[in-house]
Structure 1
Amino acid sequence: MRKINLQAQYNYLHTKIQTSSPGQLTLMLYTGCIKYLKLAVQSIEIHDMEGKHLNFVKAQNIIDELQSTLIMEYEISKQLYSLYTYINEKLFEANVKLDVKSAEDCIQLLTELRDTWAEALKLISNGEQVGV
């Protein structure tokens, strides 16, 4: 029964990703990164070093993906690139030094980015102009 549930979840997520717009995919990446960072913090708190490392690496991979999709001809992309570089450095530090504060700072930054992105998507879907 468990195998069927996992397959159903995989199929659902696969379909969701395949049918999402680039904006929705970015929102999902932010949400996933925040989730993995929270799991990394929990792993630090319970002294699960394998879980800590695994979740930090997953979060860093998401940041790398967000960074790789930037179109560098726009000023906002250059600013985001720098911010993502900073976040990745803080995550590396948090992973190596078991630094919950650095991880929580990154969670806060990513939450603000996710919430801003979600608001922009709402405005776009309502036909409003979004100034960048």
Structure 2
Amino acid sequence: MNHAHEFARIYQAQAVLTTNPGNLVLMLYDGATRFINQAIDADSESDETVRIQRMHTYIVKAQNILIELRANLDFNAGGDYARDLDRLYDYYIRRLMQANLQKSTEPLNEVIGLLGQLRSGWAEMLLKQSANEPVCSVA
């Protein structure tokens, strides 16, 4: 492993450890989106075995992020909002499973669109929070 790659990995780990929980959720949304995009890109792979393997790998990485987000919902603090997020995450995970089984990009594109909307809403909530406006806490 070269030094630049190692420094980048250390920097990324440090960024995760020092960010606030709200920004960490944004980072996780971005990571899931990046992996889904990589799965979509892998669909154009000419070698069928490589295509299937790469799509599977990236879809599972995105699923794991969503599973972790879902597992860390605080239903006591978040109430109905946390329950709504739980249902959304469940839907996204099921659609990713479907994409993985069928090696289809249609569910991947759907999840990217929905996740993008969720990310935008979350980012807006964080902006309001930083402006000291009252917001709910679920993460």
Deviates more, 1:122-131 or 1:67-76: 122-131
In the alignment, the residues of structure 2 paired with residue 9 and residue 103 of structure 1 have an alpha-carbon distance, to the nearest angstrom, of 28
Quote how far apart the aligned CAs of 1:126 are: 1.5
Whether 1:87 and 2:92 are equivalent positions in the alignment is yes
**Superposed counterparts of 1:1-132, under 5 Å:** 3-47=2-46, 48-73=51-76, 74-130=79-135
Mapped to 2, the partners of 1:3 and 1:131 lie a distance apart of 43
Structure 1 residue 49: Cα displacement? 1.5
The 2-side partners of 1:4 and 1:53 are apart by 29
How far 1:31 moved relative to its partner?
0.4
TM-score by length of 2: 0.89
Shift of 1:131: 6.0
Q: What is the DSSP-based 3-state SS (H/G/I as helix, E as strand, rest coil) of the residue aligned with 1:45?
A: coil
**5+ unaligned residues in a row in structure 1: which ranges?**
none
- 3-state DSSP of counterpart to 2:87: helix
* Moved >3 Å (runs of 4+): none
d(CA) in 2 for partners of 1:40 and 1:51?
7
CA RMSD of aligned residues (A): 1.4
Q: Measure the CA separation in 1 of the matches of 2:103 and 2:130.
A: 41
> After superposition, what is the alpha-carbon deviation per residue over 1:58-81, rounded to whole angstroms, capped at 9, x for unaligned?
000000011011012311111111
Give the unaligned 5+ runs of structure 2.
none
Amino acid at match of 1:120: M
| Distance in 2 between residues matched to 1:131 and 1:58, nearest whole Å | 28
Query: How far has the Cα of 1:99 moved from its partner?
Result: 1.7
Conserved 8 A contact 2:52-2:103: no
Using the aligned pairs only, state the percent identity.
31
